């Protein structure tokens, strides 16, 4: 039976390819260690750039925090001044209100006196 299979199986001849002059196969120059080394160097430079950007970001955030703290202190100082001025204004307004009330009472007293004097002058026999 094995003789029948070999007799019925066609024979295939694969021609041998002769390399052309000046041709190098594309993967003959591939060096995996060199590729790995280049990848590691690229990774390290990326890490260094990332660390530098992180340091710059942290510095920017720290500076912004410092400026916001200074702004808050200035705002607190202005708030204190505004409160003091508001109290002074209210005190001044209260003084003016008291003076106005006293002046109204003084005018009322003068009006009564004038009214009394006028009424006395108009009475017969005065």
What integer pLDDT is reported at residue 13 of this predicted model? 75
pTM for this model (two decimals): 0.44
Report residues of the chain scoring pLDDT below 70.
1-7, 10, 17-30, 125-126
What integer pLDDT is reported at residue 70 of this predicted model? 94
What integer pLDDT is reported at residue 22 of this predicted model? 66
In the chain, pLDDT over 90 holds for what percent of residues?
60
Task: Show the beta-strand stretches assigned E in 1-126.
Answer: none
Q: 3-15 as b/e, with b when 16 or more CB fall inside 10 Å?
A: eeeeeeeeeeeee
């Amino acid at each position: 039976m094995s003789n029948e299979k070999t007799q019925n199986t066609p024979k295939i001849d694969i021609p041998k390819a002769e390399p052309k002059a000046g041709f190098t196969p594309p993967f003959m120059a591939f060096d995996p260690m060199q590729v790995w080394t280049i990848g590691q160097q690229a990774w390290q430079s990326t890490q260094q750039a990332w660390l530098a950007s992180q340091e710059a970001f942290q510095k920017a955030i720290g500076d912004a925090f410092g400026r916001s703290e200074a702004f808050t202190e200035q705002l607190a100082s202005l708030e204190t001044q505004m409160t003091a001025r508001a109290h002074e204004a209210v005190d001044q307004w209260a003084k003016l209100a008291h003076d106005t009330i006293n002046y109204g009472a003084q005018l009322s007293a003068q009006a009564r006196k004038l009214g009394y004097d006028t009424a006395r002058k108009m009475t017969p026999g005065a």
